[in-house]
Amino acid sequence: MKVCLFGGSFDPVHSGHLAIAAAAQQECGLDEVVFLPAACSPFKVDSRTYFSDAQRVNMLNLATKALPWARVSTLDLELPPPSWSWRVAELWLEQEPGVELFWLMGTDQWEQLHRWARYEYLCEMLHFIVYHRDTPPAPREGVRSTFICSGLHEASSSGIRAALSEGRSIPSGWLHPDVLAYVKNEM
């Protein structure tokens, strides 16, 4: 079974996240893409999310409920911070032995991968799927990777948060309709 972990703040999950996950699922023949909201990135220890953990999980569940290949996991939220990817991957493989484990990330994360804690160990456990918008990034020697072009989607979590903070409407198509309704209800 091919399982892909897609970690991120998902603050909030938007249509771009869903498009990237769908592209990875289709292009790599994944059985499952697991949306994994992060508790606290080691690179952003002092930052807080706009939405609570429970709200982010609720929005992910709404956004993925009609996607048979998608699942939401709170594993990282249940672990003590910070969010170590190697720890999540290790626990996943302990809980689901025998799966072929992938990690979905963007080019910006791929370029910083060598800075991640226990980088070599992480590379032993995972096959990385790296999405890019135009030119694929350079491969890393000895690191299993697949590069996919997700196309350009304008949605951004920071843009959505700014619109909410400033009382502006969220651009059309940036949020799944159920997530948009949820956000309007929560505000």
Q: Strands 127-132 and 100-106: what pairing?
A: parallel
DSSP states of 118-145: THHHHHHH-EEEEEESSSPPPP-TT--E
- For 127-138, write each residue's pLDDT tens digit: 999 998 888 899
* pLDDT surpassing 60 at residue 49: yes
115 and 106 in contact (C-beta within 8 Å)?
A: no
CA distance to 28, 143, 158, per residue, from 148 (Å): 9, 16, 23
Q: What is the dihedral of CA 108, 114, 115, 118, to 10 degrees?
A: 130
Domain residue ranges of the chain, discontinuous segments joined by +: 2-186
- For 142-154, write each residue's pLDDT tens digit: 999 999 986 667 8
Cα angle value 23/33/68 (rounded, 5°): 90
Q: How many CA atoms lie less than 13 Å away from 161 in the CB half-sphere? A: 13
Tell me the C-alpha distance between 62 and 15, whole Å. 12
pTM tops 0.85:
yes
Class at the top of the CATH hierarchy for domain 2-186 = alpha beta
